[in-house]
Amino acid sequence: MTAPKLLADIGGTNARFALQVGERFEAIDVLACAGHATLADAIDAYLARAAAQGHAVGAIAHAAIAIANPVEDDLVRMTNHHWSFSIAHLRAERRLATLLVVNDFAALAMALPYLRDDQRARIGGSGAGVAGKPIGLIGPGTGLGVSGVVPCGAGWTALAGEGGHASFAPNNEDELRILQALWQDFGHVSAERLLSGMGLELMHRVLAGERLGAADITARAHSGASLACLRSVQCFCGVLGSVAGNVALTLGATGGMYIGGGIVPRLGELFARSTFRQRFEDKGRLSAYLARIPTYLITEQYPALVGVAAMLTASLAHDHTQESPCNPQ
């Protein structure tokens, strides 16, 4: 039997794990990051649960981790959680022959060319993606992930960046009010400062003068109980559209623009009816260029696991052939 590979997608809130056996994912499980002192502890907890289900976790030699953080050297310190670890130490401690650690949105981006129609939902627009052209990705969640994939030979190269920390630019009076208020609190105001769970709360605090959690704001907007909450959600969607348009322009993402992360799926019809697409295209002389680019919401439950599995496969193939890899970390 083929020995399983360990896959993980680590966000600021949840850690998603799976065992890859051949082409199949087995023992998919989600653990709360806050419930474990370290990443190593979370891995141990997952493997113990998988072993209890009868999986051969002792045979694991290769693993890949997608993590919500820059991965630039051996020491990884998470931006939106307290975990930090040495890649080399974790590999040795777990007696792994291979431990690939990559940015989570680079891994998510690697899944984009392979998503089927039933794993995505189109959001407005009538254009069609151009095959073999760059594909963009943005995803608000605990933070804001930005990435994409570009063609590389017969495959794709994932871009690992921190575009969520690029400076926010307002497009109307409400957004200017928000920016001016957040300048006082934070100095630099990034796109992530607004396009995240905390960002929705900050927007609502400025626009409505009340402090509510993101879940409460969304629930009251959905029910129609609060026009102020609806206004805040609409503002959030508009800002997301503008930033997504910026990413599409920067990458030349004529292959399509995708939305990941945990927030937008919870907005449901509020997002579908929002100004997201209008703001995505609202780029002056380049509006016609953006109008041709399709935008999609990722509906696949574990897309980053698909991407990080592809990156691990490419890494192992490179180690075997010593050819230049097409999927950088």
Segment 299-312, tens digit of pLDDT: 988 899 989 998 99
CA 259 to mean position of chain CA atoms: 8
Burial of 119 (C-beta count, 10 Å sphere; 0-12/13-18/19+): middle
More confident residue, 233 or 158: 233
pLDDT tens for 9-46 read 998 889 999 999 988 999 999 999 999 999 999 999 99
The reply to whether 244 and 226 lie within a common domain is yes
Over range 266-289, report the average pLDDT.
95
**Spatial CA neighbour of 139 closest among 118, 114, 112, 172:** 112
**pLDDT value, residue 328:** 45
Clarify whether residues 186 and 93 are in a common domain.
Answer: no
Q: Are 232 and 84 in contact (CB under 8 A)?
A: no
The pLDDT of residue 62 is 97
The domain spanning residue 20 has which CATH number?
3.30.420.40
Looking at residue 203, which CATH number applies to its domain? Answer: 3.40.367.20
Say if residue 71 is in the same domain as residue 131: no
Domain coverage including residue 272: 116-298
* In a shared domain, residues 142 and 49: no
Q: Is 204 part of a structural domain of the chain?
A: yes
- Is 326 within the bounds of a domain? no
Number of domains in the chain: 2
Based on the domain organization, do 262 and 174 belong to the same domain?
A: yes
Do 226 and 184 lie in one domain? The reply is yes
Domain-embedded: residue 109:
no
Measured in whole angstroms, the distance separating CA 121 from the mean position of its chain's CA atoms is: 16
> Are 135 and 147 in the same domain?
yes
> How confident is the model at residue 321, as a pLDDT?
56
**What pairing do the DSSP bridges indicate for beta strands 155-160 and 144-152?**
antiparallel
Mean pLDDT of the chain: 91
Say if residue 62 is in the same domain as residue 18. yes
pTM of the complete model: 0.81
Distance between CA atoms of 220 and 15, rounded to whole angstroms?
29
Does residue 322 or residue 287 have the better pLDDT?
287
For residues 175 and 267, state if they share a domain: yes
Query: Does the pLDDT value for residue 318 go beyond 80?
Result: no
Considering the domain architecture, whether residues 93 and 12 belong to the same structural domain is answered as yes
Same domain, 86 and 130: no
Q: What is the pLDDT of residues 44-76, one digit of tens each?
A: 999 999 999 999 888 899 999 999 888 889 999
What gap in Å lies between CA 12 and CA 262, rounded to an integer? 11
Burial class of residue 183, CB neighbours in 10 A (0-12, 13-18, 19+): exposed
pLDDT tens digits, one per residue of 197-254: 999 999 999 999 999 999 999 999 999 999 999 999 999 999 999 999 999 999 999 9
- pLDDT higher than threshold 80 for residue 329: no
Nearest Cα residue to 175 out of 80, 247, 227, 241: 241
Q: Do residues 289 and 313 both lie within one domain?
A: no
